Amino acid sequence: MSAFRKIALCVVAALAFGASDDLLAKTKSRKPAPPAQSAAPVRMPVGTSASNNPYPDRGLTPGMADTQSVKDIQARWPCPHGAKAGKDGKCTYSTAHRNVPTATKNAVYAAYEKLYPGLTAYCHALDQPAAKRKAFTVGKGQRCEVDHFCPVGIGCSNDAKNLWIQRADTIYDGQLMGFHQKDDLEAWGIAQVKAGKLDPKDFDSRIWAAWVAYYHQVRPPHSNVSN
C-alpha cells in the first residue's frame, strides 16, 4: 500500500470516528419525547362573560385533588367543631375536610373580578338595598358561590387552584348550566364513588375536562346533598 493511500485511509477513519462521536453526543443530550397528553379541556372564546361561561379560567383554577383514594372518601371522619355528626359520631369526608377561609374566598373573588369586572358587585347583590341583599346571597336566590371545581366530597382541595366564582344563572348553549346543575352532577358522582361504581380519578378528569358534557351524558337527578 502506498504511503499516500495509508494517509487517505487514516483521514477517512478519523472523520468517521469524529462524526460518530458527535452523533453519540447529540443522542445523549436529546430529551425524551413528552408523554402523550389527554384531550385538552374546554376553553371558552376570548370575551366570554361570566354569565355564559360554565367553566373557570384554567390558569387560575386548573383543579386540584388532595386525595383520590376511595377508602378516604368512603371513610367516616372526626367532625370539625360545629358540624352535625352522624349516628356513629363521625362525619363524611366532605364535612370533615371542607374549609375555605374568608381570606381565600376574597382572593378568589379578586382574581375573577379582574377577568369579569362587575362580577363581585353582582354576586354580592350591591345593586339591591342592603336590607334585601341576603335574599340574593344565601339560599335559593343565591346568585353565585365560591365553587370547588371538583368537589371536596370526591377528595378535592380547598386550595385556590380548585376554587372559582360560579354563577347560578349561567346559560350555555341555550340551557341553564350554573352551580346548581354542577352540584347535581357532583352529588351523583360522590354517591357512585362511595358505592364503588366509579373511580375518583376518572370522575375528577371528566369534571376538569368538560363537566357540562359529562352532565348531559349522566343526566343526574336533582339533589340537595352538600358536596
Average pLDDT over residues 187-213: 95
Average pLDDT over residues 95-110: 97
Cα–Cα distance list, 185 to 38, 55, 182 (Å): 22, 14, 5
Question: Is 15 a domain residue?
Answer: no
Range of the domain at 176: 62-218
Number of domains the chain is built from: 1
Dump pLDDT digits (tens) for 143-153. Answer: 999 999 999 99
Within a 10 A sphere around the Cβ of 187, how many other Cβ atoms? 20
Mean pLDDT lowest for which of 16-25, 64-73, 214-223?
Answer: 16-25
Cβ atoms 157, 164 nearer than 8 A: no
Question: Is 52 a domain residue?
Answer: no
Place of cell 382541595: 157
Cβ atoms 143, 137 nearer than 8 A: yes
Question: Is 42 a domain residue?
Answer: no
30 against 116, higher pLDDT:
116
Q: Tally the C-alpha atoms within 13 A of residue 43's C-alpha that lie toward its C-beta.
A: 7
The pLDDT of residue 96 is 97
The pLDDT of residue 131 is 96
The region that residue 89 occupies, defined by phi over 0 for left and psi between -120 and 50 for alpha, beta otherwise, is left
Within a 10 A sphere around the Cβ of 154, how many other Cβ atoms? 26
193 against 44, higher pLDDT:
193
The pLDDT of residue 227 is 64
Query: Which residue in 62, 59, 169 sits closest to 115, CA to CA?
Result: 59
Question: Is 44 a domain residue?
Answer: no
Question: Is 54 a domain residue?
Answer: no
Question: Is 3 a domain residue?
Answer: no
Across the chain, what does the average pLDDT equal?
Answer: 83
Assigned C-alpha cell, 65: 385533588
Question: Is 39 a domain residue?
Answer: no
Question: Is 66 a domain residue?
Answer: yes
Query: Could you write out the DSSP letters of every residue in 74-112?
Result: HS-BPPPTTPPP-TTS-B-HHHHH----HHHHHHHHHHH
Average pLDDT over residues 87-98: 96
42 against 15, higher pLDDT:
42
Mean pLDDT lowest for which of 2-6, 98-102, 214-218?
Answer: 2-6
Helix then strand count (H, E) for the chain reads 8, 4
Distance CA 221, CA 227 (A): 14
